[in-house]
Structure 1
């Protein structure tokens, strides 16, 4: 029995701004700070590798003193819209009805809502009243791949079923106006908002790339590297400068044993579907893969066009591959990193 990817549909929020348009707002935010520090921050934005970011909030609103309650209300309102749009688009692309979905996984870590967004999607799109729900939170950038791993487990145990994984993130709603730390500044420079839906199936009538294997890799004693701290003004970014080097240190253990258990080596991998965590992480992984004769050009392009949309971003990369004329039998390696610290991998056959 094969587990296949039927389609991926992406969705962007209504507001967007080029980095060069954002810098005047950053300069206003930095007024009163030491001039050398201001120049350093502007260089971070200019050198972020991100040309444009999309947002659920008006760009000017991001740099106003919005309280946590107000930002979370915007998050709640807008993720419902983005989730509905991405799921509806995916169903249309697949020629599926909403009632064809047996399992719905929703992924988000950039706001709080109970009931979770999947409950609203069931009502809005009239999914079946017995659809199985799984909201995934607190896994950060890795959760898009995590959601696919959970869907594969469900589908493997239930032949003939279909699943939707919907990732919706709004990192701009977590920006901290009074926080001039490098973590807050770097996250503001690289993160953007977006949504994506991937439909998967164990129904043999559905064709598409096959999920051959999956695995999670957990870094010991690395919980301090990435995440959010809940403060009175919202979700405060934790982003350690050692993340790229930590990934590099663990890279051989992340990649080679996973491929070996599938009787493969990196030479057998034709396509890399990698989450663009940020310019430094991308450069680190590009150097590691480049030494193995591989490229992550699509990853770099997604970072440039949209920024890091947390769990959503790797699905934007996956969508680009589905639109290509990829040779049957080619292998792809899907890879993302997130808080914990952890790495998630899926081996795909096109």
Structure 2
């Protein structure tokens, strides 16, 4: 069998943004209304968190006024379903047109979202609205949080390696703003509101000989023991309540050498051989932690910081925005890229890329 036919390539990445957006200064008056009954010290603390989040602008499927209004879980989830379907259809259609594929060219479709609940999942709606083939294989990934964009790439890679000459789409759509809890003044809710935004992305992958793009050299997951409580959602009567342990950055730093070096060594590489760091920006503190660790190795994560600044953390979607920036700017022949994200479990997900020689 032709080895070129077996290699899995990322053919294209596309993004789509929701209709509503606000720059950080424009959110401050809305915070005044939310915090009206709180003492001045707490108000200043919350505004400082928003101001120092390293996020200049956030997009949302709801108007800012809707986000800060007393809507029920059912009402917010209904908006989530409606808007996720719209964004998923738009971003998949845009991605297919970008690489000049037909909808019927897809053999495998993975949809990714953890910020709402819908059954049937998004992929069922996409099969109908874009008229995908009736035998397309579908996989919804719903409970892996921020790591799921890379998780989906791991699953797509396994499918395509086993099935040469096939094509896959990963569609990630997230609305963290739909999980905002109006009556929750915990630091987890405040911090998540400050760093998160909504968005959608689509990555198209292929094991077809005639398709081109950066090749997936290897993938891997790294699971932290006894850390389930560090990140996730608690399902309450008012919706999905954020769980975000302040110890996450330190925990990442502690495990960082084991996450990075053995994975690269398995592929006869060192961190010095990596030309592009395609890292999911969890938030300012995690970015600073990872930037310091990579900085010691002579690397930067400037594109990661820029995506956080422009859009906020869009959960699973965000790393695909970082990947899009690298692909649009062009990787030099033979360049290596390392994709990295962290999510509930607690876990780290990795993908090693190489630009064709």
Match of 2:315 in 1: 310
Match of 1:258 in 2: 263
Match of 2:181 in 1: 176
Match of 1:137 in 2: 142
State the superposition RMSD in angstroms: 0.4
CA distance in 1, matches of 2:212, 2:143: 32
Other structure's SS at 1:53 match: strand
Q: TM-score, normalised by structure 1?
A: 1.00
Deviations 1:84-119 (A, max 9, x none): 011001100110000000000000000000000000
Match of 1:127 in 2: 132
Match of 1:196 in 2: 201
CA distance in 1, matches of 2:39, 2:346: 34
Following TM superposition, by how much is the alpha carbon of 1:35 offset from its aligned partner in structure 2, in angstroms? 1.1
Q: Number of paired residues?
A: 350
Match of 2:71 in 1: 66
Following TM superposition, by how much is the alpha carbon of 1:325 offset from its aligned partner in structure 2, in angstroms? 2.9
For 1:1-350, list aligned pairs within 5 A: 1-350=6-355
Other structure's SS at 2:269 match: coil
Q: TM-score, normalised by structure 2?
A: 0.98
Following TM superposition, by how much is the alpha carbon of 1:207 offset from its aligned partner in structure 2, in angstroms? 0.4
Please list every run of 5 or more consecutive structure 2 residues that lacks an aligned counterpart in the other structure: 1-5
Structure 1 residue ranges (4+ consecutive) displaced by more than 4 angstroms after TM superposition: none
CA distance in 2, matches of 1:26, 1:339: 28
Following TM superposition, by how much is the alpha carbon of 1:326 offset from its aligned partner in structure 2, in angstroms? 2.0
